[in-house]
Amino acid sequence: ALVEKGNHRHFMVKEIYEQPDACQHTLTAYVDPVTGHVSAPGGFDFASVTRLQIIACGTAFYAGLIARYLFERLAGLPCDVEIASEFRYREPAVTPGTLAIAVSQSGETADTLAALRWCQAKGLKTAAIVNAHESTMAREAGMLWPTHAGPEIGVASTKAFTSQVTALTALAVAAAAQRGRIDAEEEKRLVRVLLEAPRLVGESLGVEEMVQALSLEISKARDVLYLGRGAMSALAYEGALKLKEISYIHAEGYAAGELKHGPIALVDEATPIIVIAPTDELFEKTVSNMSEVLARGGRVILITDEAGAAHAPAGVSVIIAPTCDPLIAPLVFAAPIQLLAYHVAVQKGADVDQPRNLAKSVTVE
Ligand code: G6P
Q: Pick the residue whose CA is nearest to atom 3 on ligand 1.
A: 58
Q: List per-residue pLDDT tens for the chain, 365 residues long.
A: 568 888 889 999 999 999 999 999 999 999 997 888 999 999 999 999 999 999 999 999 999 999 999 999 999 999 999 999 999 999 999 899 999 999 999 999 999 999 999 999 999 999 999 999 999 999 999 999 999 999 999 889 999 999 999 999 999 999 999 999 999 999 999 999 999 999 999 999 999 999 999 999 999 999 999 999 999 999 999 999 999 999 999 999 999 999 889 888 888 888 999 999 999 989 999 999 999 999 999 999 999 999 999 999 999 999 999 999 999 999 999 999 999 999 999 999 988 888 888 888 888 77
Q: How far is the CA of 360 from the centre of ligand 1 (A)?
A: 6
DSSP letter, residue 115? H
Cα angle, residue 324 at apex, residues 211 and 247 outer, rounded to 5°: 25
How far is 294 from 303, CA to CA, in rounded Å?
Answer: 16
Classify each residue of 143-159 as buried b or exposed e, where b means 16 or more C-beta atoms within 10 Å of its C-beta: bbbbbbbbebbbbbbbb
3-state secondary structure 259-272: HHHCHHHHCCCCCE
Q: Which residues contact 360 (CB under 8 A, 6 or more apart)?
A: 106, 152, 153, 155
299-304, strands of its sheet edge to edge: 250-255, 223-228, 272-276, 299-304, 317-320
How far is 169 from 198, CA to CA, in rounded Å?
Answer: 13
Q: Which atom of ligand 1 is nearest to the CA of 57?
A: 6
125-130, strands of its sheet edge to edge: 79-83, 51-56, 98-104, 125-130, 143-146
pLDDT of residue 358: 86
Q: How far is the CA of 112 from the centre of ligand 1 (A)?
A: 10
Give the amino acid at 154: G
How far is 56 from 68, CA to CA, in rounded Å?
Answer: 13
User: In this structure, what is the dihedral angle of CA atoms 102, 103, 104, 109, given to the nearest 10 degrees?
Assistant: -40
Mutate to test the pocket of ligand 1, among 11, 112, 157 (most ligand atoms within 8 A of CB): 157
Give the amino acid at 326: P
Q: What is the pLDDT of residues 196-241, one digit of tens each?
A: 999 999 999 999 999 999 999 999 999 999 999 999 999 999 999 9
Q: Which of 5, 244, 348, 360 is catalytic?
A: 360
Q: How far is the CA of 59 from the centre of ligand 1 (A)?
A: 6
pLDDT of residue 360: 85
Annotated active-site residue 159? The verdict is no
Q: Pick the residue whose CA is nearest to atom 11 on ligand 1.
A: 361
Q: How far is the CA of 365 from the centre of ligand 1 (A)?
A: 13
pLDDT of residue 152: 92
pLDDT of residue 203: 98
pLDDT of residue 1: 57
How far is 200 from 24, CA to CA, in rounded Å?
Answer: 11
Q: In the structure, which protein residues have their CB atom closer than 6 angstroms to any atom of ligand 1?
A: 57-60, 104-106, 109, 112, 155-157, 358, 360-362
Give the amino acid at 331: L
Q: How far is the CA of 358 from the centre of ligand 1 (A)?
A: 9
How far is 100 from 109, CA to CA, in rounded Å?
Answer: 16
Residue 69 and residue 168 in contact, taking contact as beta carbons nearer than 8 Å? no
Q: Which atom of ligand 1 is nearest to the CA of 61?
A: 10
